[in-house]
Structures are given as C-alpha cells and as structure tokens.
C-alpha cells in the first residue's frame, strides 16, 4: 500500500527536492509551505496521511504550533525538520509530541530511514491492537482470548494460550526451546526446560485430530515451528 506524507516546508528548493525524492520512493506527497496551509491540508487528508515531515521555522504558524494542534486530535507520526542544532528546540519538539527530529542539512538517506522506522512503528501498533492470528483452520484472537478450530472453541489454559500466541507471533519461524521458555515462562524460570515439550504435546492434543497434518512441527535438534508448510 502506498503511504502518504504531508511535507511542510517553506524553502521552495528544499520542498521541491524532498517532494521529488519521496516520490521516487513511492510515497504519495502532499505539500504545504506554511503552518496554516499545513493544518488545512491535514484536515482535508487526515484519513490517509501516514506521516508528517514538519519544518520548524514556518510563516504564519510555526512548526511547534502546527504540531500542538495536530496532536490534539491525532497520533500520526511527526518528524520535525530543524535548521538550528539547538537542544532546546528538540526538547520542545519532543515534548510537543514529535516522534523524531532531524537537523538540516541532512542526508536524504537518513531521512528516508527515519521515515521507514516511524511508519513501521505505527504499522506494528495497529497490528497489535487487532490481534487475530490465523493458520489453516486455526484462529487465535487475543482480544477475546479465544481459540477456534473449524469454528469450534478450543479450551486452553492460560499457559497453553500464551504458548500458542507466542508460536503465532513467530509463525513460519523456528523457535528454540530456550526462546519459548524465555517468553512463555520468563527469563527467571529455573525449572526443567522440558516443560516446553510437555506443553507442546498438550497443545497438539487439544488442537489436532490425528488424521490432520501437524501445525506445530518439531524441528529436530532445534525447537518448534508453527507452520502450514509440509
């Protein structure tokens, strides 16, 4: 999906070159050259804006003013562009709710990297708020704490649920027994690491009919993997 960036910058040369570069990177760019038109563009396009690049020194309303107004209604990631390498600005910007700042002049590659990080962070959060995992006929919903297989509710203990959720979070990866132990039982766990194997067996018994292919696979000498590969 194409991400949209609201780019607010009053230096025309910089506005043009950034807009071109972001376009090359396949971002959809909306431009504004002063603080008030930035707010205006934000209101018109807030449903689709994924990130705002906001210059600090702007005509009509400065970047901090823009940021404060936007923060009253939105948590969209904001990266401040500041010309002055002045620590007070950075503190004020971060206090005002900026996610990141970059000091001019900057390398475009660095800016692009920060944009990717900021957008990815939001994508992760969005995903986490809506945690429904699915593999084949098996669904795990972390909001309702339910596990369904073929639309039938499966009763799991808290530990079994956490174990299955952990495997879902690393779907198609191989997890070692130690990794599973750290996440599900905690790093302080002092008991027998074979507890992992015991719980995997319990889960398998609850989840899988004997004639079905196994979703939780044993990777010999390594650990386990939740995957629908053969």
Using CB under 5 A as the criterion, which residues of the chain lie in contact with Ca ion when the complex forms? Answer: 10, 55, 57
Instruction: Give the separation between CA 55 and CA 10, rounded to whole angstroms.
Output: 8
Instruction: Give the separation between CA 41 and CA 46, rounded to whole angstroms.
Output: 8
- Residue 22 corresponds to which tokens in the numbers above? 């972001």
> Closest approach of Cβ 190 to Ca ion, in Å?
58
> Closest approach of Cβ 43 to Ca ion, in Å?
22
How far, in Å, are 35, 88, 100 from residue 92 at the CA level?
A: 17, 6, 12
Nearer to Ca ion, 79 or 203 (CB): 79
Residues comprising the chain, all counted = 230
**Chain position whose Cβ is nearest to Ca ion:** 57
Nearer to Ca ion, 21 or 182 (CB): 21
Nearer to Ca ion, 42 or 56 (CB): 56
Nearer to Ca ion, 56 or 168 (CB): 56
> Closest approach of Cβ 35 to Ca ion, in Å?
10
Nearer to Ca ion, 10 or 21 (CB): 10
> Closest approach of Cβ 55 to Ca ion, in Å?
4
Instruction: Give the residue carrying structure tokens 């990777």.
Output: 219
User: Is 50:77 a contact under the CB 8 Å cutoff?
Assistant: yes
Instruction: Give the separation between CA 31 and CA 9, rounded to whole angstroms.
Output: 8
> Closest approach of Cβ 56 to Ca ion, in Å?
7
Nearest Cα neighbor of 156 from 172, 174, 170, 138 is: 138
């Amino acid at each position: 999906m194409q991400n949209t960036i609201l780019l607010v910058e009053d230096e025309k040369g910089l506005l043009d070159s950034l807009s071109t570069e972001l376009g090359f990177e396949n971002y959809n760019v909306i431009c504004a050259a002063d603080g008030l038109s930035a707010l205006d563009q934000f209101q018109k396009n807030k449903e689709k804006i994924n990130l705002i690049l906001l210059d600090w020194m702007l005509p009509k309303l400065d970047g901090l003013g823009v940021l404060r107004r936007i923060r009253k209604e939105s948590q969209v990631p904001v990266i401040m562009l500041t010309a002055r390498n002045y620590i007070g600005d950075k503190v004020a910007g971060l206090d005002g709710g900026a996610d990141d700042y970059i000091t001019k002049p900057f390398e475009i590659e660095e800016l692009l990297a920060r944009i990717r990080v900021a957008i990815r962070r939001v994508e992760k959060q969005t995903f986490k708020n809506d945690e429904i995992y699915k593999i084949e006929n098996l669904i795990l919903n972390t909001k309702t704490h339910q596990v369904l297989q073929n639309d039938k509710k499966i009763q799991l203990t808290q530990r079994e649920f956490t174990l299955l959720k952990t495997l879902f979070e690393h779907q198609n990866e191989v997890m070692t027994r130690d990794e599973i132990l750290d996440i599900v039982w905690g790093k302080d766990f002092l008991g027998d690491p074979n507890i992992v194997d015991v719980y995997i067996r319990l889960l398998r018994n609850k989840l899988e009919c004997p004639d079905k292919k196994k979703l939780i696979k044993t990777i010999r000498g390594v650990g386990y993997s939740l995957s629908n590969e053969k």
